């Protein structure tokens, strides 16, 4: 079947709203979007693919993270800066501990639309359509606010461009300076209770390495820049009308390939990965790297069929499989998936989303994720993928740079009672800055132990 940017319209689609009051107005907005400048360009998208191809073969590690849902109300420069800072802190720790390049992929600058478990929300006996993300309808619990409004797509586009503009400036304008980032990490490490000594030691080792590089005259020269990083963006390709409008045929390289220029990478959610549905149809035709969320309901044969559709040429760097089982389900579900994919000779990045399978509701009604369950899922993920002969190549986190109280636990624990104090998410609970950075230190520990064991084995000890 011939693919076009709009061929998905001939397929059944889940989680795309069909209740816009004026479909002509929606069409007009999509036409306006199609004329707007792309957020990212083909060469950057290909660069990310090259970096992900390195993850496929175990030469790099993928860090993907950001808000569950970006919001219009929380769109502030300081929030973006704090997020980027936490992200950099994590990336530095992981780079040092793993001894490998870290691919930095934000879940940002376009992450608005949400698939919802329930089509309606009931409060005090009143039932309204669910909130579906700021680019579709409003979070306020009023009938008016829950009506989908196409103009929200334009606002989301502009928020994405402005966010990306700041992120690009932060990534290349000196903010990412390694010595700064290590200083922030040291300040974090000092206040981590029992874990402080180990974390501070790691920061000191990074400091020594930086001094060594300075001594060699390598700081910022010969392409080993310590001041600038490549930062890529991603979001769930849920609202296909928007993604279609942002899809452009490459003019620069003359390849004729179509790129979804709304982000460097997009992913297909766990609820929209049906083989014969619209989301898979759309994603198979764009040249971007594609993520696929893999949850307990995914059968290994179905995954192979998905890989055949989405990556018939088995191109390395094209597919990121994002396992999101839940700490209590990963041991039963993931091994057979990894085995099948390896047996079939498929080149993929294996990444762990330890957030979406670990959500629970407290007695007082808050959706939360216990930090220890998140840690447990990542750790099991690493063991399982390794045991099956694969490379656990990444993590996908819902996180913020702010001091929110949404997930319980961590070294400076958020208690269940404290959740109410700064519970700000518009959708799922996120790791706060400290919890996210702690997560990086914990993963770093496991990466370092692995490397030390390999070194000792190589030395015959």
User: x/- site string to ligand PEP, residues 308 to 327, per CB under 6 A?
Assistant: ----------------x---
- Return the residues of window 283-312 that contact ligand PEP according to CB under 6 A: 293
How open is the CA angle 158-163-166, to the nearest 5 degrees?
130
Which region, left, alpha or beta, applies to residue 402 given φ > 0 means left and ψ of -120 to 50 means alpha? beta
Q: Rounded to whole angstroms, how far apart are CA atoms 161 and 146? A: 25
| 426 contributes a contact to ligand PEP by CB under 6 A | no
Interacting partner of 385 out of ligand PEP, Co ion, none (Cβ under 5 to 8 A depending on kind): none
| 428 contributes a contact to Co ion by CB under 5 A | yes
Output 42 or 322, the one with its CB closest to ligand PEP.
322
Longest CA–CA span in the chain (Å) reads 71
Which region, left, alpha or beta, applies to residue 125 given φ > 0 means left and ψ of -120 to 50 means alpha? left
Q: How far is the CB of 405 from Co ion (least distance, A)?
A: 17
- Return the residues of window 9-38 that contact ligand PEP according to CB under 6 A: none
- Which of 68, 170, 283, 306 is in the footprint of Co ion by CB under 5 A? 68
User: Of 457, 460, 443, which is closest to residue 92 (Cα–Cα)?
Assistant: 443
Output 380 or 428, the one with its CB closest to Co ion.
428
And the tokens for 436?
């996210």
- Return the residues of window 233-262 that contact ligand PEP according to CB under 6 A: 236
Q: What is the dihedral of CA 452, 449, 201, 213, to 10 degrees?
A: 50
User: x/- site string to ligand PEP, residues 62 to 101, per CB under 6 A?
Assistant: ------x---------------------------------
| 270 contributes a contact to ligand PEP by CB under 6 A | yes
Interacting partner of 82 out of Co ion, ligand PEP, none (Cβ under 5 to 8 A depending on kind): none
Gyration radius (Cα) of the chain, Å: 22
Output 49 or 396, the one with its CB closest to ligand PEP.
396
Query: Which residues, 6 or more positions from 377, have their beta carbon under 8 angstroms from its beta carbon?
Result: 325, 326, 327, 330, 352, 354, 357, 358
Segment contacting ligand PEP by CB under 6 A, of 34-42, 151-159, 207-215, 268-276: 268-276
Binding site for Co ion (CB under 5 A): 68, 428
């Amino acid at each position: 079947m011939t693919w076009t940017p709009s061929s998905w319209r001939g397929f059944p689609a889940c989680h795309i709203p069909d209740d816009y009051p004026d479909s002509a107005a929606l069409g007009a907005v999509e036409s306006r979007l199609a004329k707007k400048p792309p957020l990212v360009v083909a060469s950057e998208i290909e660069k990310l693919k090259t970096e992900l191809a390195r993850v496929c073969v175990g030469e790099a590690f993928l860090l993907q993270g950001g808000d569950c849902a970006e919001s219009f109300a929380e769109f502030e420069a300081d929030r973006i800066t704090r997020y980027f800072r936490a992200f950099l802190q994590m990336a530095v720790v992981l780079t040092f501990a793993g001894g490998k390049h870290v691919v930095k992929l934000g879940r940002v600058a376009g992450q608005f639309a949400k698939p919802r478990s329930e089509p309606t929300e009931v409060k005090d006996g009143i039932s309204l359509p669910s909130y579906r993300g700021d680019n579709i309808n409003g979070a306020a619990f009023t009938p008016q606010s829950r009506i989908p409004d196409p103009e929200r797509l334009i606002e989301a586009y502009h928020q994405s461009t402005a966010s990306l503009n700041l992120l690009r400036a932060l990534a290349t304008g000196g903010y990412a300076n390694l010595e700064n980032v290590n200083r922030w990490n040291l300040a974090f490490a000092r206040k981590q209770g029992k874990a402080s000594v180990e974390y501070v030691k790691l920061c000191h080792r990074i400091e020594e390495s930086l001094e060594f590089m300075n001594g060699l005259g390598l700081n910022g020269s010969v392409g080993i820049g310590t001041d600038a990083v490549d930062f890529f963006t991603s979001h769930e390709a849920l609202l296909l009308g928007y993604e279609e409008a942002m899809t452009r045929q490459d003019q620069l390289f003359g390849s004729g390939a179509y790129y979804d220029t709304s982000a460097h990478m997009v992913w297909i959610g766990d609820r929209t990965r049906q083989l014969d549905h619209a989301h898979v149809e759309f994603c198979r035709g764009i040249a971007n790297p594609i993520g696929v969320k893999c949850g307990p309901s995914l059968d290994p044969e179905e995954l192979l069929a998905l890989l055949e559709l989405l990556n018939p040429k088995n191109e390395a760097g094209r597919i990121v499989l994002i396992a999101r089982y839940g700490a209590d389900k990963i041991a039963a579900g993931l091994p057979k998936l990894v085995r099948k994919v390896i047996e079939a000779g498929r080149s993929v990045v294996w990444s762990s989303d330890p957030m979406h399978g670990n959500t629970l509701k407290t007695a007082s009604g808050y959706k939360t994720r216990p930090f220890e369950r998140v840690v447990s899922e990542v750790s099991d993920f690493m063991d399982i993928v390794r045991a099956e002969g694969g490379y656990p190549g990444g993590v996908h986190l819902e996180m913020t740079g702010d001091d929110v109280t949404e997930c319980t636990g961590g070294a400076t624990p958020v208690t269940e009672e404290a959740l109410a104090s700064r519970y700000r998410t518009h959708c799922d609970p996120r790791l706060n800055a400290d919890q996210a950075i702690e997560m990086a230190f914990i993963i770093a520990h496991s990466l370092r132990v692995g490397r030390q064991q390999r070194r000792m084995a190589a030395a015959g000890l």
